[in-house]
Structure 1
Amino acid sequence: MPRAGLDREQVVRAAADIADDEGLDAVTLARVAAQLGVKSPSLYNHVEGRDGLVRGIALLGLGELAAALREAAVGRSGLDGLLAASGAYRTFVKDHPGRYTAGAVTASAAGDAEHEAAAADVVVVLQGVLRAWDLSGDDEIHALRAFRSAVHGFATLEAAGGFGLDLDVDTSFTRLISALAAGLEVDHA
């Protein structure tokens, strides 16, 4: 019988907090149970083992990332929208590394429609941000890949302490996104 008041959302949020603080590898049933003050077997009433925990973290992270991107980009377009969305993406990676890894880096299980829909929601927001460049087809896909690669690379390097030189990192990031935007202006015909 599930502990009174304990639900799937609480279990997943506890696991997500552990993933953010200690890394995704630190997420175990025993660690989450200890965090919640319950025995490990009771978690099976809410998630399907460790895989269920990681899947829950992925869904939570993707939903939160999409919401952060949407909030940052609303009412903005062009370079302003791109800078706002990329800044929100960067902040999310820094603030929620475990959620980000589970959702945006780790591939979903084949046929997991819920995970695929959550990932697609992030893409839809980014498509909206890129709408100012009037891209379609392959050009839009290339632009989405470039955006994700640029921001993911920068944010993960930054989070790992990869920018050791005493030079403003925010300026470097702004220049990166501005260069990306300039590249989107190129005629792809």
Structure 2
Amino acid sequence: MARAGLTAARLTAAAAELADEEGLDKVTLSALARRFGVKDASLYSHVRNVRDLRVRVGLLAAEEMTERIAAAVAGRAGKDALVAFADAYRDYALEHPGRYAATQMRFDPEEVADSAGLRRSVELTHGVLRAYGLAEPDLTDAGRLLRSAFHGYIHLELGGGFGHPRDVRESWARSLDALHVLLENWPTRSGGSER
């Protein structure tokens, strides 16, 4: 084992690189073992199985993306924070598509219980949304809306789903303008505006 220098952290980093290069579905123990020139069995003292490996990639990516978002939103509020958050989110996803895909997996609570990155991500999202005057349960609803809008746009962009010649960055910016207006006018339960 020492000859290959295997550790859980090193395997996770290599799996994250593999995910970005070839896709999360190509992250297997066999593919990783080939990268290190070892037998599959050599990996089992560091990771339990392919699910464990992919979860580790997701948690690594969540930490990386959260750090990037935190730096982007620092000292900002309102629309400036929303745009900084969204741009950092999108940039990370486009630069690291495999890692980003791992963050979208459904995690079991015990798999992510110790994830500071995921907790901080929720805190950052709520911080941006509180500047719009939102409180629970609207924080959760608005957070789900943002995640859905960001993920849907990025998923289509990564998959080449925008065939129109208009620059996708311009459409992204206009979408963020629209989300800002929506958040400023978040509907009440009776269907009117909060403000």
Question: TM-score, length-normalised on structure 2?
Answer: 0.89
Q: Please show how residues 6-155 of structure 1 align to structure 2 within 5 Å.
A: 6-103=6-103, 105-114=104-113, 118-155=117-154
**CA distance 1:113–1:57, shift in 2 (3 Å):** closer
Query: Aligned partner of 1:46: which letter?
Result: H
Distance in 1 (alpha carbons) for counterparts of 2:76 and 2:50? 40
Kindly state the Cα deviation for residue 4 of structure 1 after the two structures are TM-superposed. 5.7
Aligned to 1:171: 170
Q: Give the conservation status (yes or no) of the 8 Å contact 1:59–1:115.
A: no
% identity of equivalent residues: 40
Kindly state the Cα deviation for residue 145 of structure 1 after the two structures are TM-superposed. 1.0
Q: Secondary structure at the match of 1:137?
A: coil
Q: Give the conservation status (yes or no) of the 8 Å contact 1:3–1:42.
A: no
Q: Give the conservation status (yes or no) of the 8 Å contact 1:14–1:36.
A: no
Q: Give the conservation status (yes or no) of the 8 Å contact 1:69–1:85.
A: yes
Distance in 1 (alpha carbons) for counterparts of 2:143 and 2:41? 42
Question: TM-score, length-normalised on structure 1?
Answer: 0.92
Distance in 2 (alpha carbons) for counterparts of 1:124 and 1:2? 40
Q: Give the conservation status (yes or no) of the 8 Å contact 1:29–1:43.
A: yes
Distance in 2 (alpha carbons) for counterparts of 1:166 and 1:113? 41
Q: Give the conservation status (yes or no) of the 8 Å contact 2:23–2:98.
A: yes
> Structure 1: which 5+ runs fail to align?
none
What's the C-alpha RMSD, in Å, of the aligned pairs?
1.7
Aligned to 1:5: 5
Kindly state the Cα deviation for residue 36 of structure 1 after the two structures are TM-superposed. 1.9
Q: Give the conservation status (yes or no) of the 8 Å contact 2:4–2:38.
A: no
Query: Aligned partner of 1:58: which letter?
Result: G
Aligned to 2:191: none
